[in-house]
């Protein structure tokens, strides 16, 4: 409870700082910290792509976002970079902070766990026991773990990302995702990214997200 209060206080302060710093155009003008800007440069990104330019400021402000842009438009960095910026000091990473539900693609980073269906459960149990900061998971396997692992809780999740949401929808995962989201705390920030936004998905998003900002790039690059 105490911790929650401290977190929302920090977020509020950051939101105000971001609003002040924010203009448009470059990564530098978006209010990222120096270490994050250096990492962006090291990665070879000179300018934000249109979806990044439009979505990142909202994500940094802590609001829920639905981001729609074609495949290859840079959606991954659009949510990963602001979330990295939002990470508190590693010493504060006591609980499960970020939950990313992605379809199929595997990603790994320090203190993260990838829970993909088809892989052995035992190795995943061991990794979960280490209390990872980031969980990248397919919906079915994550639910399986929530049923099997006593003490695994998503209550402390601060950020939930549904990447490739249209694919998740097509593959019939929405009921499972609804259940997963229901196990998280109300205060989380939820981000949904997709290449297309059919009506059914938009309806799902407006129910599962909290007053989401829609950032939609239909034809632009």
Give the interface with ligand ADP as residue ranges (CB under 6 A).
45, 48-49, 52, 69, 71-77
Pick the closer one to ligand ADP by CB: 75 or 145. Answer: 75
Lookup: tokens for 211: 């007053």
Q: Which one of ligand ADP, Mg ion, none is in contact with 153 (Cβ closer than 5 to 8 A by kind)?
A: none
Q: How far is the CB of 32 from ligand ADP (least distance, A)?
A: 12
In this structure, is the dihedral angle defined by the CA atoms of residues 191, 195, 197 and 201, taken in order, positive or negative?
Answer: negative
Pick the closer one to Mg ion by CB: 76 or 112. Answer: 76
Phi, psi values for residue 112, rounded to 5°:
-125, 160
Q: Which one of Mg ion, ligand ADP, none is in contact with 206 (Cβ closer than 5 to 8 A by kind)?
A: none
In this structure, is the dihedral angle defined by the CA atoms of residues 35, 106, 62 and 131, taken in order, positive or negative?
Answer: negative
Q: How far is the CB of 191 from Mg ion (least distance, A)?
A: 12
Contact status, residue 53 vs residue 26, Cβ threshold 8 Å: no
Best CA proximity match to 109, nearest among 143, 84, 139? 84
Among 54, 58, 75, 188, binds Mg ion (CB under 5 A): 75
Pick the closer one to Mg ion by CB: 59 or 128. Answer: 59
Pick the closer one to ligand ADP by CB: 72 or 110. Answer: 72
Q: How far is the CB of 44 from Mg ion (least distance, A)?
A: 18
SS3 call for 82 = helix
Cα–Cα distance between 112 and 170 in angstroms, integer?
27
Cα–Cα distance between 137 and 104 in angstroms, integer?
9
Q: How far is the CB of 11 from ligand ADP (least distance, A)?
A: 25
Q: Which one of ligand ADP, Mg ion, none is in contact with 45 (Cβ closer than 5 to 8 A by kind)?
A: ligand ADP
- End-to-end Cα, the chain, rounded Å: 44
Helices 50-60, 2-21: crossing angle, 10 deg rounding: 140
145 touches Mg ion by CB under 5 A: no
Pick the closer one to Mg ion by CB: 58 or 75. Answer: 75
Binding site for Mg ion (CB under 5 A): 75-76
């Amino acid at each position: 409870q105490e911790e929650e209060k401290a977190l929302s206080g920090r977020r509020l302060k950051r939101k105000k700082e971001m609003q002040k710093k924010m203009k448009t155009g470059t990564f530098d003008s978006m209010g990222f910290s120096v270490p994050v800007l250096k990492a962006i440069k090291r990665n070879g990104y000179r300018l934000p792509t249109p979806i990044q330019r439009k979505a990142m400021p909202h994500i940094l402000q802590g609001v829920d976002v639905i981001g729609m842009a074609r495949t290859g438009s840079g959606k991954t960095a659009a949510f990963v970079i602001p979330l990295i910026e939002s990470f508190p000091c590693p010493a504060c990473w006591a609980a499960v902070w970020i939950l990313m539900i992605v379809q199929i693609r595997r990603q790994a980073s320090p203190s993260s766990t990838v829970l993909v269906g088809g892989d052995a459960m035992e190795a995943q149990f061991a990794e979960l026991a280490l209390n990872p900061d980031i969980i990248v998971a397919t919906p079915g396997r994550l639910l399986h773990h929530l049923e099997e692992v006593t003490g695994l809780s998503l209550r402390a999740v601060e950020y939930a990302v549904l990447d490739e949401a249209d694919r998740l929808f097509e593959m019939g995962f929405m009921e499972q995702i609804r259940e997963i989201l229901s196990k998280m705390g109300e205060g989380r920030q939820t981000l949904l990214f997709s290449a297309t936004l059919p009506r059914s998905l938009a309806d799902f998003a407006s129910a599962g997200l909290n007053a989401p900002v829609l950032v939609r790039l239909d034809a632009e690059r």
